[in-house]
Amino acid sequence: MNYVDPEKKQLEEAAQKIWDLAISMGLDPFPTHFEIVPASIMYEFGAYGIPGRFSHWTHGKAYHRLRTMYDYGLSKIYELVINNNPSYAFLLEGNSILQNKLVMAHVLAHSDFFKHNVYFEHTNRQMVDGASINADRIRKYEYLHGKAEVEAYLDAVLAIQEHIDPNLRIKKKTKNGSQPTQARTPGPYDDLLTDAELHPRQEEHPRRFPPEPEKDLLLFIAENAAGLKDWQRDVIHIVRNEMLYFLPQMQTKIMNEGWASYWHARILRQLDLTEDEYIHFAELHASVVSPSKTQVNPYYIGMKMFEDIEKRWDNPTEEEKQRYGRKGGEGRQKIFEVREVENDVSFIRTYLTKDLVRELDLYIYEAQGDELKVVETDWEKIRDTLVASMTNFGNPYIVVEDADYRRNRELYLKHQYEGIELDIDYAEKTLPYVYKLWGRTVHIETVVDNEKVVITYDGEKVTHKKESSGPPSLAQNSVTNN
Amino acid sequence: MAFTVSLSKNDWSLHRKGPADQARHAEKVKEAIKGNLSNIISQEAIITSDGNKIVKVPIRSLELPRFRYDFRKKNQVGQGEGESKPGDVVGQGKPGQGQGRQAGDQPGIDYFEAEITVEELANLLFEDLGLPNLEQKQSAEIEGAGIKFNDIHKVGIMGNLDKKRTILENIKRNALANHMPVFRQVKQEDLRFRTWNPDVKRDTNAVVIAMRDVSASMGEFEKYITRSFYFWMVRFLRRKYNDVKIVFITHHTEAKEVDEETFFKLGESGGTKVSSAYKLALEIIEKRYDPQSWNIYPFHFSDGDNWGDGDNKLCVELVNKLISVANVFGYGEIQESRHSSPSTLMSAFLTIQNPRFISVTIAEKADVYPALRKFFTTREAAAA
């Protein structure tokens, strides 16, 4: 007897209907495969970010936390979709049919975003396989070198995993613009030339390594740390590789969720829902896009912004018609263009308007004593605070300033201070991990209370030093700069 | 049409990655607890627990450190219901920390509460501790003293039929066979019988004679330390002995035997005559706990503020007598600070050169753990 799960059959039909609707409305997702999974699997994938990813206790911790929150009814993951071709999406077993319909519509919009947004262009579309291969390699290293050693090494790499550079494809301008002098081609009359003419004095380059500050800490260490074994370099490349894959998702959280919420609402309104289903849908949609007093809900802000853009390009003001030549009725076209070329930073900077900030009632708050209080409602300041919080994916911008500091191959990192201080306690604890990777003394320069501070770890203890002016790395190099 | 959208449902029951990594995290939490035992074991929540329940112990969150912003110095954006203005209160406490992919879901603290049973904590604590000077006493274990019905088999004597379980098995089988969870058509395979196992009784016993100074000079802190110490000592001994009896003695200038509650609560006043407690302890041993069949562990906690040199000398004599019958005699002196000099009583005790006499000084909560370690290290083996 061939048993057909009635729920599965119903969902299959719904999936096809939703797919057809999405296509007819202009979305162009990757082929998408839905898998119905129990909660334990849903939370595992949520914790690991991608199925089959390598084992590490931090993943176990994340899994435990998500799982506990689910078990106590505090939070629920409704949807999970993997940027992959085909896209894989997971539906939670036991969700109502309507919940899963909403999830499917939402997921297809995400997949469309993955496929078309320019920041995803270079992501590995076979990452599900890639992550499994990476996991196999790490398992092999565990077998060869011992679990404890691999874990301790992974700890060190993961501690600085955010510090990579997704823009390596953009060629860098060199600061002094000097080109290496070409070697002279020997000629027949060389004996007539003086020695100085024969060997023009090459302008001495400052002995700097790296020549320009390097943002990609992981790559720099993998390529330049002296004492690393092959497997250790490989582990760095694995982590960096996966981080590069995840970065665009961190870079487009508001847009991506906004886009998906915008579309799930429109697709579901086109489905033939019963009255009960429609009420259920309205409730669900409202809970997804509910504002939060102390956070920015990306689903809500993102959706509102797309709707606002569509409205403004559909019905431009007289001024917009004359100054920008907007014809009106171009709303849909415009939002498709926005989803293709922007990321969260440019999206907020370009499309979060004064009216929208007021309509959404956004504000800046801070802790005052035991209370969180609104301190600012000026729309430009709000916009700029949002942009600042998303710059470099919310992480401090840290570069390798000098990898031969004190002519002793010590690693000198610099925090590009832009007004927000580092968590010094954390920085002190992170340095030993960097030391483990680099193998020699490591420093980080930052600013505390408007004074330059250098924190150093030499393999035994952490020390602080306040310095008055000028990066010491430059002072070092100026000696050789004649 | 090309592959566009599809749906499937597979069996995921053998998938175990998350739980495996979760177990590794739990293991690391346990390591962290172990590294911090001296601060954890004297937590009030543990000492006042009934000993079986799960207690929560604060441990530093196991987090990979990273370079991150100081979130206390960072402004954040929130969203109101309209017309918000500066000065409006939007929440309590510290703002949530935004981090990476999961913005703002972590509270701004680095400690979290790990749940652990007192039993597990005891395992960690006593892992490498042993009983000092353990002796084989006369009456060892008596096997087969009785039987206990504590097992279930599928075959057995009708007289031992476990009706409740049999009915449940029958309902289960019916439910599985034809989706009808009802009780009918009992088959042989439904039957369950109670059966017995021989009851092994171990008859090695120990008695702890807990003595406490309740003179005016002993305050809340001293009481707490005493309590914390006895709590773990009794748990430890119970792991080693079938039956651990505890005799509680309080003393100021006179000693008396009291019950547990009084022992820990009592705060009296008056002077101190330590010898009175030791005399009473010897009397009790003589009357009730024959050293031939009991392992005896007298422990005494005091601030050492004794009556005078005469009594100190008497104490030394009595302690020597106690050592001759006890496995170990422990004296714990609770001092106001680490830098206090030892009391006259402690000085007198220092003349006792017997490995069965152990003394410690405790100046803060965290000293309880080293004290326990000192008392329960099988040092006689090392000395022999």
pLDDT of residue B325 exceeding 70:
yes
Q: What gap in Å lies between CA B153 and CA B195, rounded to an integer?
A: 7
What percent of chain B has a predicted confidence (pLDDT) above 70?
A: 76
On whether the CB atoms of residues B151 and B195 are closer than 8 A, the answer is yes
Angle between helices A230-251 and A147-159 (to 10 degrees): 40
* Residue B12 at interface with chain A, using a CB cutoff of 8 Å: yes
User: Does the distance separating the beta carbons of B93 and A155 come in below 8 Å?
Assistant: no
In a domain, B18, yes or no: no
Q: Are strands B294-302 and B255-258 parallel, antiparallel or unpaired?
A: unpaired
CA distance B375 to chain A (A): 34
Output the pLDDT for position A439. Answer: 95
In a domain, B334, yes or no: yes
Output the domain CATH number for residue B241: 3.40.50.410
Task: Name B147's bridge partners.
Answer: B198
Domain of B56, in residue numbers: 25-62+110-127
Q: What gap in Å lies between CA A78 and CA A95, rounded to an integer?
A: 8
Interface test with A, best of B1, B3, B11, B21 (most A CBs within 10 A): B21
Closest to A284 measured CA to CA, from A26, A45, A479, A105: A105
On whether the CB atoms of residues B203 and B240 are closer than 8 A, the answer is no
> What is the dihedral angle through the alpha carbons of A221, B98, B58, B30, rounded to the nearest 10 degrees?
-40
Output the pLDDT for position B29. Answer: 81
User: Does the distance separating the beta carbons of A291 and B79 come in below 8 Å?
Assistant: yes
**Residue of A294, A363, A426 with shortest CB distance to B66:** A426
Q: Are residues B260 and B374 in the same domain?
A: yes
Which amino acid is present at A242?
E
From the number of C-beta atoms within 10 Å of its C-beta (0-12, 13-18, 19+), residue A475 rates as: exposed
Q: What gap in Å lies between CA B76 and CA B98, rounded to an integer?
A: 9
**Domain termination site, one of B155, B182, B200:** B200
Q: Are residues B296 and B192 in the same domain?
A: no
* Residue B140 at interface with chain A, using a CB cutoff of 8 Å: no
Q: What gap in Å lies between CA B238 and CA B215, rounded to an integer?
A: 30
**Residue of A59, A360, A394 with shortest CB distance to B21:** A59
Interface test with B, best of A57, A289, A431 (most B CBs within 10 A): A57
Q: Are residues B353 and B366 in the same domain?
A: yes
Q: Which of A174-183, B39-48, B266-275 tops mean pLDDT?
A: B266-275
* Residue B23 at interface with chain A, using a CB cutoff of 8 Å: yes
Task: Name A464's bridge partners.
Answer: A455
Q: What gap in Å lies between CA A419 and CA B220, rounded to an integer?
A: 49
Residue A130 token pair: 């890639």
Q: Count of domains in chain B?
A: 3
Q: Are residues B313 and B233 in the same domain?
A: yes
DSSP assignments along A276-329, one per residue: HHHHHHHHHHHHHT---SSS--HHHHHHHHHHHHHHHHHS--HHHHHHH---SS
Q: Are residues B192 and B285 in the same domain?
A: no
Q: Are residues B250 and B262 in the same domain?
A: yes
User: Does the distance separating the beta carbons of B67 and A427 come in below 8 Å?
Assistant: yes
Locate the chain B residue with the closest alpha carbon to A28.
Answer: B4
Q: What gap in Å lies between CA A155 and CA B103, rounded to an integer?
A: 22
Bigger pLDDT: B101 or A170?
A: A170
pLDDT of residue B108 exceeding 50:
no
Q: What gap in Å lies between CA B264 and CA A85, rounded to an integer?
A: 69
Residues of A in contact with B87 (CB under 8 A): 373-374
**Residue of B3, B7, B80 with shortest CB distance to A31:** B3
**Residue of A5, A44, A398 with shortest CB distance to B9:** A5
CA distance A38 to chain B (A): 8
**Domain termination site, one of B78, B94, B127:** B127
User: Does the distance separating the beta carbons of B77 and A364 come in below 8 Å?
Assistant: yes
Mention every residue, 6+ apart, whose C-beta is less than 8 A from residue A336: A26
User: Does the distance separating the beta carbons of B18 and A160 come in below 8 Å?
Assistant: no
From the number of C-beta atoms within 10 Å of its C-beta (0-12, 13-18, 19+), residue B185 rates as: exposed
- The least confident of A8-17, B136-145, B304-313 is B136-145
In a domain, B91, yes or no: no
pLDDT of residue B341 exceeding 60:
yes
In a domain, B45, yes or no: yes
Which of left, alpha, beta for B144 (phi over 0: left; psi -120 to 50: alpha)? left
Task: Name A405's bridge partners.
Answer: A410
- Cα four-point dihedral sign A198, A200, A201, A207: negative
Q: Are residues B232 and B379 in the same domain?
A: yes
Locate the chain B residue with the closest alpha carbon to A159.
Answer: B66
In a domain, B90, yes or no: no
Residues of A in contact with B23 (CB under 8 A): 60
Residues of A in contact with B7 (CB under 8 A): 8, 11-12, 15, 33-36
Task: Name B333's bridge partners.
Answer: B302, B361
Q: Where are the domains of chain A?
A: 6-117, 128-136+145-167+216-250, 289-392, 394-478
H helix or E strand, kind and range, residue A139: helix A127-145
Q: Helical H runs in chain B?
A: 17-35, 37-40, 44-47, 118-126, 163-178, 220-240, 260-265, 274-288, 309-325, 344-349, 368-375, 379-383
pLDDT of residue B82 exceeding 90:
no
Q: Are residues B166 and B278 in the same domain?
A: no
* Residue B80 at interface with chain A, using a CB cutoff of 8 Å: yes
Prediction pTM value: 0.73
Coil vs helix vs strand at A433:
helix
Output the pLDDT for position B105. Answer: 35
Band (pLDDT 50/70/90 cuts) for residue B136 is: low
Mean pLDDT for back-to-back runs of 10 residues, chain A (482 residues) = 76 93 96 92 90 91 84 78 94 89 95 96 94 95 95 96 85 53 67 71 66 93 94 97 94 95 94 90 90 88 96 92 89 96 96 94 86 90 91 91 93 92 91 96 94 94 77 39 34
User: Does the distance separating the beta carbons of A385 and B80 come in below 8 Å?
Assistant: no
* Residue B1 at interface with chain A, using a CB cutoff of 8 Å: no
pLDDT of residue B271 exceeding 80:
no
Band (pLDDT 50/70/90 cuts) for residue B61 is: low
Q: Are residues B286 and B368 in the same domain?
A: yes
On whether the CB atoms of residues B84 and A363 are closer than 8 A, the answer is yes
Residues of B in contact with A56 (CB under 8 A): 21
**Residue of B68, B79, B100 with shortest CB distance to A396:** B68
**Domain termination site, one of B99, B127, B155:** B127
Closest to A394 measured CA to CA, from A344, A451, A341: A344
Q: Are residues B185 and B277 in the same domain?
A: no
Q: Are residues B49 and B154 in the same domain?
A: no
Global ipTM: 0.84
User: Does the distance separating the beta carbons of A56 and B12 come in below 8 Å?
Assistant: no
Q: Are residues B150 and B194 in the same domain?
A: yes
Residue A306 token pair: 């797309």
The overall average pLDDT reported for chain B is 77
User: Does the distance separating the beta carbons of A33 and B8 come in below 8 Å?
Assistant: yes
On whether the CB atoms of residues A378 and A361 are closer than 8 A, the answer is no
Residues of B in contact with A365 (CB under 8 A): 75-78, 90-91, 95
Cβ neighbours of B313 (radius 10 Å): 13
Cα R_g (chain B), whole angstroms: 30
Band (pLDDT 50/70/90 cuts) for residue B381 is: very low
Q: What gap in Å lies between CA A254 and CA A271, rounded to an integer?
A: 26
Report how many Cβ contacts below 8 Å link chain A to chain B: 259
